[in-house]
Chain A
């Protein structure tokens, strides 16, 4: 066990979900793995500009903003990825000729998101995972766009053993900002949880079945084998299930570790609807 905070390799940091109740949007949520936090808002279905109107389905727009500076190519690329991740989870054909707009804002870190590109320190996998989760939570919170499932994401890091550089790296779930410098690659895994997917044989009755939706698993300056990838995928799937459960908890009792505020109550009222949506 060589992690900085004394976490186990397959342990997530404390996750927190807070329904912000931003006034001018239809739904919003803040999601954090420890200090890696993101805020997302959803508006829609709203009026669409004529040039992006589609006669068969709603247009999805995703904007991602870094903590500092203006959105660069890296944010644009991330927006496009997030869009393709969220599309399979949404039933956009239900509202043709409309627009669903999602804005994600990174809320963390001095090193986060300032023009380093996704390969650099900027959009590290944990931050991307928190953005994906914030977007999903905001969509559930808005509950104005019909959903097929909920997308939950976690990051996997390849942690190099400082004592011997030759041994294969250890896989850790949800690397923290402090661990980033010690990583030799890794990636983000996004899963869709939905009961419309076929169930595996030995499944937990409580958790709907999940399927891998996106990954960008990469080794930095090294290589990995099929077995390692499979291990990473498995580790990520377990982690994503934990995220899904914390989603469900946040909707069922609304009382996430923090004291409930006025705005929180609002989110509480919508709860039964949201919960149903998740069970679809």
Chain B
């Protein structure tokens, strides 16, 4: 409708375009599957991308001054903001030298009509759990580097991400946001005083975290058992039969491969295709996403 009003030469044509758009929107709402099928028959997606095309990513680091580290990531229309807050805590008894990394993703009602206000939705919990798994298993930060004094004090890093606009593929966007925020984090130099039993921090020396690896997630969806859609949008997501997520590190090596949904005929070709597509995507993306490396 915006396009119609901008380029309307006369009111009558404006009205017809407006009507056409409305018709298309009604069709999309009532028959989402058929709507997407018609687009894909023309080898194009409803947002103008090709099936294997990705959305642009932009990263803004350090925009929240009250956090110890932060990042704002846009993946197409999906916007995720992530802040890192550091606290000091006592370590667990059986792991006296290990700090804690606590990632969490919030999908508030403001980001999409899909989500309702109230306690964290199932989707938010699933995504948080997967992000936790990826961050821990890939070893972005070794928890032993968060130790201040063994058995007495360690750092706890709360990596809180909030989605401000949800347009699908929140996992990829959030992982970029979390890793960028961790890269941006500076911790004050902390010393543990044996006599008083307290930890003191000095704001004079701010130390960056030691980042070991830079994981990048790439997600794909399979529509109608045949068409692979890279980086699915919120409209496409509920229509997908299968989703793949491939996590790669900065050298292009596989950290994790996840498939959910029935692998269709020749599924393993699909998976191989996805992995190679993920490699290409990561090599393009890495340079400008994690540029501070």
Contact = CB atoms under 8 A, between A and B. Distances in A.
Contacts of A221: 137-139
Contacts of A233: 268
B257 A192 contact: no
Nearest to A232: B257
Given A117-B129, A185-B137, A224 B260 contact: no
Contact of A218 (B251, B256, B264, B265): B256
A84 B243 CA distance: 11
Interface in A163-205: 185, 192, 198
Interface in A58-113: 73-74, 76-77, 80-81, 84-85, 88
Given A81-B126, A118-B133, A223 B249 contact: yes
A73 B138 CA distance: 21
Interface in A103-152: 117-120
B202 interface: no
Contacts of A220: 137, 139
B6 interface: no
B258 A77 contact: no
Given A88-B262, A119-B137, A226 B254 contact: yes
A139 to B, nearest CB: 17
Interface in B223-271: 247, 249, 251, 253-265, 267-268
Contacts of A84: 260-261
A131 B196 CA distance: 49
Interface string B122-156: 11011011101110111100000000000000000
A224 B254 contact: yes
Interface string A242-264: 00000000000000000000000
A73 B125 CA distance: 6
Interface residues of A, number: 34
A84 B267 CA distance: 18
Contacts of B292: none
Interface string A205-234: 000000111111111110111100110010
B161 interface: no
B12 interface: no
Contacts of B253: 223-225
B260 to A, nearest CB: 5
Nearest to A85: B260
A218 B129 CA distance: 14
SS class, residues of chain A in contact with chain B: mixed
Contact of A213 (B139, B261, B265): B261
Given A88-B261, A119-B137, A226 B275 contact: yes
Contacts of B249: 223
Contacts of A223: 249, 251, 253-255
B122 A219 contact: no
A211 B258 contact: no
**Most chain B Cβ neighbours within 10 Å, of A73, A84, A88, A225:** A73
A219 B129 contact: no
Contact of B128 (A73, A215, A224): A73
Contacts of A211: 262-264, 267
Which 4 pairs of residues, A with B, have the shortest CB-CB distance? A223-B253, A77-B129, A218-B256, A119-B133
Interface of B: 120, 122-123, 125-126, 128-130, 132-134, 136-139, 247, 249, 251, 253-265, 267-268, 272, 275
21 contacts: A76-B126, A76-B129, A77-B129, A80-B122, A81-B126, A211-B263, A211-B264, A214-B259, A215-B259, A217-B258, A218-B247, A219-B255, A223-B249, A223-B255, A224-B253, A224-B254, A225-B254, A226-B254, A226-B272, A229-B254, A233-B268
Given A211-B264, A214-B259, 15 more contacts: A77-B126, A80-B125, A81-B260, A119-B137, A211-B262, A212-B263, A212-B267, A219-B137, A219-B256, A220-B139, A221-B139, A223-B249, A223-B251, A226-B254, A229-B257
